Chains A and B, each alone.
Chain A
Amino acid sequence: MLLARVVGRVNSARRIEPLDPFRLLVVRTERAGRHYVAVDTHGAVPGELVVTTSAAAARMCERLEGIPVDLCVVAVLDDAKVPAA
């Protein structure tokens, strides 16, 4: 799992139908600063720190079983004690 910050969202009207109900967030990994797009089912908003799960594990989340998703938010953190790099 990755520790990442929500930095935005992706707007896409034409997408694979099973993805229609979900919000697509741009997240930035906390140290490396790499950007990914994650499916969100927890209402995470920009600025929040989240945990993402990737690959087949992402599809073990509630509502994501059997759909083409490879990264999702599994937890929105209230607080994380992480020393700065």
Chain B
Amino acid sequence: MILCRVLGHAVSSRKDERLEGAKLLVVVEIEPEGAERDELHVVADTLGAGDGDTVLVVIGSAARMTGPTRGQPIDALVVGIVDSVDVQA
């Protein structure tokens, strides 16, 4: 999993029909301390994350291993909204 920060929503009226109903967020990868990396992702969200939230994102087939996302053409999913990250050293 990777840590990301939510930058906004991706809205699309022309998309694969299996994406209907999916909420898509634009997120940026971050370091545990919060610094942004140079990589943006579009990720599906079923937890209701909002702008500025730190989220935990799974990549790959893991994204399709939940009830709402099974069979959807997605490869990234928010699996947690992060309260805090404790890093030592």
Contacts and interface: CB of A to CB of B under 8 A. Distances in A.
A16 B45 CA distance: 10
A70 B47 contact: no
Nearest to B58: A70
A9 B81 contact: no
Contacts of B89: 7, 46-47
B10 interface: no
Interface residues of A, number: 31
Contact of B87 (A14, A15, A26): A26
A40 to B, nearest CB: 12
A12 B80 contact: yes
A67 B58 CA distance: 11
A37 B32 CA distance: 9
A15 B1 contact: no
Interface string A1-38: 00000011111111110110000101000000001111
Contact of B80 (A7, A10, A55): A10
A70 B87 CA distance: 21
A47 B89 CA distance: 9
B25 interface: no
13 contacts: A10-B3, A10-B85, A19-B79, A37-B1, A38-B1, A46-B88, A56-B60, A56-B62, A59-B62, A66-B65, A68-B63, A68-B77, A69-B58
